[in-house]
Amino acid sequence: MVPDSRRREIAAGLEAGLARIAEAEQAAGRAAGSVDLVVVTKTFPAEEVAVLADLGVTHVGENRDQEAAPKAQALRDQGLVWHFIGQLQTNKVRSVVDYADVVESVDRIKLVRALSKAAAAVRGPQAPLTCLVQVCLDDQPGRGGAVPEQVADIADEIVAAPLLTLGGLMAVAPLDGDADRAFARLAELAEVVAADHPTARTVSAGMSGDLEAAVRHGATQVRLGSAVLGYRPPVG
């Protein structure tokens, strides 16, 4: 059971997050409603994700399969769209494609092949899996993401896979870098990808600390965790 006080806190966090997105759209001269919200629910219990669903949230993001799989299973009747946003090992792919609707962290050809195989085994032709290519915007590829030079090849590989759909690109701003510069680079890469693949228009960028910069540079989707759900202890 989620106490009423926490329910109110979540509702207020959601309202504040949506208001920030609306302000950022307006400040950037973009149409109201042009930026979608994915609420990042990692570390928060399934009961609180159900509260979000009651409040009208449809897109949720998780970064660890061990945590996401049971939560998605418990909430499978809520009509939520699950985004997998964490670094993904090929041995977890079969589990992830069972509940995820979007995998945002596709950063290597080998992972595309594993996703394609698992989608055929677990999902079938009625339920194509949307994939975003995660781009690394700094010199720390340890945090996940393909270097910009690899993005086109990975995108082509996704397009060639019968049960995968290329949605677009995803990125996380560098830890100590300039978010505006990073998201401007991401926008350039997104243009190149969309030129080859006109339906791949999603740009997933912007988190609680930098959503305004992401929206200025054309993000179509932001991923907000702490701005909506509050403090989350760092995972180690």
Ligand X SMILES: *Cc1c(COP(=O)(O)O)cnc(C)c1O
CB 120 → ligand X: shortest distance, Å?
27
Residue from 6, 50, 207, 230 that binds ligand X (CB under 6 A)? 207
Bridge partners (DSSP) of residue 82 are 60
Distance of alpha carbon 18 from alpha carbon 76, whole angstroms: 25
What is the footprint of ligand X within residues 63-82 (CB under 6 A)?
63
Residue from 172, 179, 186, 189 that binds ligand X (CB under 6 A)? 172
88 binds ligand X (CB under 6 A): no
Q: How many CA atoms lie within 13 A of 73 on its CB side?
A: 9
Residue from 59, 216, 217, 223 that binds ligand X (CB under 6 A)? 223
85 binds ligand X (CB under 6 A): yes
The amino acid at residue 194 is A
227 binds ligand X (CB under 6 A): yes
DSSP 137-170: -SS-GGGS-B-GGGHHHHHHHHHHSTTEEEEEEE
Residue from 20, 42, 71, 108 that binds ligand X (CB under 6 A)? 42
Bridge partners (DSSP) of residue 36 are 221
> Measured from the CB atom, is 42 or 71 closer to ligand X?
42
13 binds ligand X (CB under 6 A): no
40 binds ligand X (CB under 6 A): yes
Question: Among all residues, whose Cβ is closest to ligand X?
Answer: 225
- Alpha-carbon distances of 177 from 173, 210, 234, 235, rounded to whole Å: 7, 11, 20, 22
Q: How many residues bind ligand X (CB under 6 A)?
A: 13
Backbone angles phi, psi at 161, to 5 degrees: -80, 125
What is the footprint of ligand X within residues 107-166 (CB under 6 A)?
none
Backbone angles phi, psi at 105, to 5 degrees: -115, 45
The site for ligand X (CB under 6 A) is made up of: 40, 42, 63, 85, 172, 207-209, 223-227
